[in-house]
Amino acid sequence: MLALGGGLLGAGIGLILGIVFHGRDQRAASATRYPVPAHGSVPSVGSRMRRGWHAARRAWWRHRSRIGLLVVAGAAIAAAGGFLLDVLVRSPWPADVTLRHYQARRNCDAARAVGLAPAYRGQPGYWQHLDADNDGIACEPYPVRRW
């Protein structure tokens, strides 16, 4: 639930940022340019600095990210953060054990690599699909006999 809320929040933030940046882009494109001095006259240092600054700013906005990319990136970051927060809040174990528990989900080699094998039902590292004979012990160190 937190992941969904985080995703919606991120999409909203990304949309707001996209609208703000798009508005800035429109203002920069329609801004009046500084007049070029008459032939033979030397422009002042301030005038040259302003023209250089505006040229750099126009180049920045020409190559900036689009609104959709900001929305998607904001939503993805917020959804990932919301999912991680949801997992850590609902877990009965400390954060490091919870993360190792999710790393052990893949297979018994992964469970052994993070130090959670063998695992008993209800303990971190126990996953139903890792319990071959359904006796409550996942990733048993001895071979499973099938009768």
User: How much is the pLDDT for 110?
Assistant: 93
C-alpha pair distances (Å), 122 with each of 16, 60, 87: 44, 55, 16
Domain boundaries, the chain: 1-34+44-90, 93-147
Q: Tell me if 126 sits within 8 A of 117, measured CB to CB.
A: no
User: How much is the pLDDT for 29?
Assistant: 53
User: How much is the pLDDT for 113?
Assistant: 94
pLDDT of the chain along its 147 residues, tens only? 555 666 666 666 766 666 666 555 555 555 555 555 566 666 777 777 777 777 777 766 665 655 566 667 777 888 787 777 877 788 888 988 998 999 999 999 999 999 999 999 999 999 999 998 889 999 988 765 666
Q: Tell me if 124 sits within 8 A of 101, measured CB to CB.
A: yes
Give the distance from CA 76 to its chain's centroid: 5
Q: Tell me if 98 sits within 8 A of 88, measured CB to CB.
A: yes
User: How much is the pLDDT for 60?
Assistant: 61
